Amino acid sequence: MELLIRPIRPTELPLLEDFLYEALWQPDPAQRLPREVVRTPALRPYAEAFGSRAGDCCLVAEVGGEVVGAAWCRMIHGFGWIGEPIPELAVALYPSFRGRGFGTRLLRALLEELSGRGFRAVSLSVQRDNPAAKLYLRLGFRTVAEHDGEWVMRCDLGDRTGAE
């Protein structure tokens, strides 16, 4: 299965709502949140009118012609906000494509893209019990704050060659 990482196309922007839902860590499959949660005031800024703000950047993971994941960032005061001018990112894959290294490759590509655009750092938030937290640590993110079991993490983008 070959993975293609590329910029999101304008016609694919509605997929960001799906990926925002997938980015929400829901440890109990029997008690998933309703999909409408992505339209709440707290989550809407992550995907609403994407591409209309300076700093909006999104790469997608494509397998067999199907978009199966996305990594994106924008300048918002979200759960992982640590200050200006540091964009906050989100990343998600559809469940059947997780655990294959696709997320690692997708996130690395986004970090390289952001570095190339001159951003000095990027932030995110993640529940500390979420298995994705290990990926973020491996890629050079460090915890800068913790609130109710949620980590706010930062990754400095200077030299991406050392991040594993």
The band of 1, judged by pLDDT with boundaries at 50, 70 and 90, is: confident
- In this model, does residue 159 exceed pLDDT 70? no
Report pLDDT for 164: 47
For the segment 96-120, what is each residue's pLDDT rounded down to a tens digit? 999 999 999 999 999 999 999 999 9
Q: Looking at residue 40, what DSSP letter applies?
A: S
The band of 162, judged by pLDDT with boundaries at 50, 70 and 90, is: very low
**Domains (range + CATH), the chain:** 3-162 (3.40.630.30)
Report pLDDT for 161: 46
For the segment 62-88, what is each residue's pLDDT rounded down to a tens digit? 999 999 999 999 999 999 999 989 999
Contact 82, 123 (CB under 8 A): yes
Instruction: Identify the three-state secondary structure at position 127.
Output: strand
For the segment 11-52, what is each residue's pLDDT rounded down to a tens digit? 999 999 999 999 999 999 899 999 999 999 999 999 999 999
Tally Cβ neighbours within 10 Å of residue 46: 22
Contact 85, 127 (CB under 8 A): no
